[in-house]
Structure 1
């Protein structure tokens, strides 16, 4: 079955075939580790996780590389302002290295909570300084660079296809770039490959280079690391839509200028998370919500948020509100309850081929997860036998990543809940229905689900 993916470069869906089948090289732009990832960021990582799972479901062998930006990303995307890690260190009274390590581990914990499969290779910008310097030297030898008082810059005028990813009018792009103006740039869209350490202040992260002491620009790391770890398997590059106009555009320019070859065949981008007022969620806007603050502290399982992201296609903005996440929590719990009922009744048999085909048709249509969820519900409401339904939904979970096999009623209940359950069972046996309902409400108020089934009462933590 063909896998069709939307390619930002061509602005259309295309049949995906890897450069070296069955192997796929996948590069995901990772976090800048100066603060917690917000749930908008995490939506993008769920999207790339679904992509990887769909590739695997189609029989491909995925080599996934994700970078950790722990140096070089300035507060202004146009190479102006302070390094975000240095700013974070001052904010929290720690070293930049401590900040990077702390938020790297926090990010990895968030991925685990969302059941996002870790990349094959993690790579840090600070671990690949020599590779970045080597790439800049290649660009210098080919005549693409020039020097200013604050760094070594890429001359975008020497790369005629500079806007081929963003499809923007170059004059409009130049005007946007003037918001953060550096008078020493030859062109407003030129970008830093290497920044010099300011003479008046010591940086915590700086290195020697052929051009002087300093640190790499933000964009050069992704080019150096993707080419180092993926070699000639530059199949798919992922990120958020906010990376299209600057970061990914600059990656392409510097990489193709250096190698003379196409830098990644497919470019895929996830849309923003929108909050009240129609604004995108962003740290720069001060309106970002983290997984722990907006999800877990409201007694919502992170997997319910993963489920919520499936309601909207990854290329469309997703609206986030308390009502929306509550609805997603209910939908996720309903799915778990359906699976739980099947698990209580039977063991998995053999998956149904027709439903597997329907599900794969949905996911292979540019990761159409809303349609995939519709297939899941169609399956569970079908007349197929319970063992076939269970096997098929477990098969689907290879892509969904909702850990449905972990759905179980065999968990031990706390003593206070067990006492309430026993009391409710006695009330039901003596037909004290009002007391039974009251005890059910009390159990549920403590965060447990109560189900009355033909096999008896089932109580569990969702």
Structure 2
């Protein structure tokens, strides 16, 4: 599937650095991307509603990671899925009287516009679930044949206990949750722990057999459609291979989605899904977590249509560390706009004659930005480095800081 047009990313002189990322599974900061090619998978949208700030914050975080990798001389291979057939999409389509394919197409196109507006680097592989139905079916068939899946009526479930015996994967290793917490989240986040016939209430659905009135496809395991977690396992293994560099997403995906996707991939490949599991914090608005179910959304499309410059929105989001939970206040845009104005005013003071002191100062600023971003993508510290430069820099400037701001933060001055 087509992604969106990439933004310009200037090459900044000097030596970029490989980032240290917080790994959710180990709780440690680890060097992410020591190979020449850094491979990244970030879970994509279920296209039944518009992009909100929670989505934007996640994709801006991993956009920053891509930019830091590129600055360090890495080639980046980025894959992202689209869950373009799933219960929330079908339910919204039925409630609104819109064909589910039309609803998905409309929201995917809106997502493209929002990402391009925000200057987010697009994935190399942008893959809809409906494009990989045969491959998912074959993967599920392999699991059945390998004894790590079983049928309940015509549906197919993943056997967690059997998987833990044959694959290098342990339930709870990534999330650190106990069983009671897992059961509660499974029920809340798309699981069916109370279904009779399952070997373990936590066993997730791999393949949903055809139901009347629902879309379905032929496959190696019968007519139906994929479960939620298996789609990401198959797409990631197809396009990135095993042991890829980073799997990313919001912290609400740690369990069950990311943990069970990793389990599926371990069974299919015999290896861990990823080396680092990285997650963004949640954004609250009006006192509660921003979510479609609560309806307390700040939509990117609304801000875009109101004429807000994307650089302002990027700065408002990047002012918070990607792993932190924080609350959105509408005056954040005013503060970000004032910051952008200060930076641009400093840039406008450039002179034709460039002094050696100015060049040394700008190089020092860029190195402070790089050091901040190496340290678990510390964008607030990177922004403060530019703040200090904009307040004190001499009238002669080299243009190095504006180039670094565009390359590393996605903001054009």
By the TM > 0.5 criterion, same fold?
Answer: yes
Higher relative CO (Cα under 8 Å, sequence separation at least 6) belongs to 2
Structure 2 counterparts to residues 320-335 of structure 1, below 5 A: 320-335=328-343
- Secondary structure at 1:265 match in 2: strand
Give the match for residue 342 of structure 1.
349
SS in 2 for 1:134: helix
Using a 3 Å threshold, how does the CA distance of structure 1 residues 185 and 325 change in structure 2: closer, same or farther?
A: farther
Structure 1 stretches of 5 or more lacking a match? Answer: 74-82, 405-462
Contact 1:142 1:258 in 2 (8 A): no
Residue correspondence of structure 1 range 48-67 to structure 2 within 5 A: 48-67=62-81
Which residue matches 1:460?
none
Report the equivalent of 1:183: 196
Q: Distance in 1 between matches of 2:180 and 2:91?
A: 33
Pick closer, same or farther for the CA change 1:170–1:238 going to 2, 3 Å: same
Alpha-carbon spacing, 1:307–1:122, altered in 2? closer, same or farther (3 Å): same
Residue pairs, 1:27-106, within 5 angstroms: 27-71=41-85, 73=86, 83-106=87-110
| Other structure's SS at 2:244 match | coil
Larger Cα-atom Rg: 1
Query: How big is the shift at 1:114?
Result: 0.8
SS at match of 2:315: helix
Q: CA deviation at 1:212?
A: 2.5
TM-score by length of structure 2 reads 0.87
Task: Assess if the C-alpha contact under 8 Å between 1:291 and 1:302 holds in 2.
Answer: no
The answer to whether the 8 Å contact 1:113/1:303 transfers is: no
1:3 positional shift: 2.4
Does the 8 Å CA contact 1:50/1:400 hold for their aligned counterparts? yes
Structure 2 Cα separation of the partners of residues 40 and 335 of structure 1: 26
Question: Matched residues in 2 for 1:227 and 1:257: separation?
Answer: 12
Give the CA deviation at 1:34: 1.3
TM-score, normalised to structure 1, is 0.78
4+ runs deviating over 6 angstroms? none
1:89–1:164 CA distance, 2 compared to 1 (3 A): same
Aligned to 2:134: 130
Q: Offset of 1:184 from its aligned partner?
A: 2.6
Paired residue secondary structure (2:256): helix
Instruction: Identify which of 96, 106, 113 aligns with 1:109.
Output: 113
Counterpart Cα distance in 2 of 1:240 and 1:25: 18
Q: Give the deviation of 1:297 after TM superposition.
A: 5.4
> Which stretch has the larger CA shift, 173-182 or 215-224?
173-182
Q: Secondary structure at the match of 2:267?
A: helix
**Which residue in 2 is equivalent to 1:207?**
217
**Matched position secondary structure for 2:349:** helix
Aligned-partner Cα distance in 2 for 1:38–1:150: 37
Distance in 2 (CA, whole Å) between partners of 1:325 and 1:149 is: 53
- Specify whether residues 88 and 234 from structure 1 end up closer, same or farther in structure 2 by C-alpha distance, changes over 3 A only: same
Native 8 Å contact 2:141 2:221 kept in 1: no
SS of the residue aligned with 1:26?
strand
CA gap of 1:323–1:27, structure 2 versus 1, over 3 A, is same
Shift of 1:392: 2.3
Q: Which position in structure 2 is the counterpart of 1:418?
A: none
| Equivalent in the alignment of 2:301 | 292
Report how far residue 225 of structure 1 moved. Answer: 0.7
SS in 2 for 1:353: helix
Q: Is the 8 A contact 2:32 2:246 kept in 1?
A: no
Kindly indicate whether the alpha-carbon contact (under 8 Å) linking 2:185 and 2:256 is maintained by their aligned counterparts in 1: no
User: What is the aligned length?
Assistant: 384
Aligned pair in 2 of structure 1 residues 374, 28: CA closer, same or farther (>3 Å)? same
Residue 255 of structure 2 is matched in structure 1 by 245
1:254 deviates by 0.9
Measured against aligned partners, the alpha-carbon deviations of 1:42-93 in whole angstroms (never above 9, x if no partner) come to 111111111111111111110111111101x3xxxxxxxxx22222322333
Q: Distance in 2 between matches of 1:114 and 1:396?
A: 14
